[in-house]
Amino acid sequence: MFPKSRLSTPIPGGGALLRAGAVAAILAGLVASPTAAQTVTEKAERDETAIVAKSDPVTAAAMRKAQAELPSFLALSAAPKPGMEGFAVKVAIREGEEAEYFWIVPFAANGRQFSGAINNAPRAVHSVKFGETITFDQSEIVDWMYFDNGEMEGNYTACALLKSAPASEAEEFKQRFHFHCDF
């Protein structure tokens, strides 16, 4: 068995960011519960997490792509064009063998150091809570996203999720969140 990581939903705050004005999730085995949502979209809206092998190659590729494009994203977030909003970054919080990834919204940069509020409910780690401000290094950012005139950009870990989802669920997710994958 591979060591596992717990990834946050594809949408910061389970869609709360969208409602406020505005994942990286891969389905390698979702934690099941009697009230678990059934589709990828429902899971995102309910702020559910996915358990993923640390060595998952699709997740790793998604994170590499996000990191490669991070300088451009950070420049854009510092001087957004009209219609751009909801800038968020994703980082891991580690406790022992556990790693859980969180969307950070809003965030602020001070050189290579960043701070921002955790925008997902923790499930596996207990050292942080929803809304808590944390500080992290730029090298810890594994994904990013924003909305451009209502269209979701970035969020490569959600693209990785959709690669393993049934085609109808992937399409539903893309339509619901105005999302396209170029990964």
Q: Specify the long-range contacts of residues 54-58, CB closer than 8 Å, at least 24 apart.
A: 54/2, 54/3, 54/4, 54/5, 54/99, 55/2, 55/3, 56/26, 56/28, 56/160, 58/26, 58/160, 58/163, 58/164
Is 181 part of a structural domain of the chain?
no
- The per-residue b/e assignment along 94-121, b for 16 or more CB within 10 angstroms, e otherwise, is eeeebbbbbbbbebeeeeeebebbbbbb
Is 39 part of a structural domain of the chain?
yes
72 three-state secondary structure: helix
Question: How many domains is the chain built from?
Answer: 1
Is 13 part of a structural domain of the chain?
yes
Is 171 part of a structural domain of the chain?
yes
Is 16 part of a structural domain of the chain?
yes
Q: Please list the pLDDT of the chain residue by residue as tens digits (183 residues).
A: 334 455 555 556 554 333 222 233 322 223 233 344 577 777 777 767 666 677 889 999 999 999 999 999 999 999 999 999 999 999 999 998 888 999 999 999 999 999 999 998 898 899 999 999 999 999 999 999 999 999 999 999 988 888 888 898 888 888 888 888 877
Backbone angles phi, psi at 49, to 5 degrees: -115, 165
Is 114 within 8 Å of 98 (Cβ atoms)? Answer: no
DSSP label at 81? P
Is 54 part of a structural domain of the chain?
yes
pTM above 0.85?
no
62 lies in which domain range?
4-176
Is 143 part of a structural domain of the chain?
yes
Is 182 part of a structural domain of the chain?
no
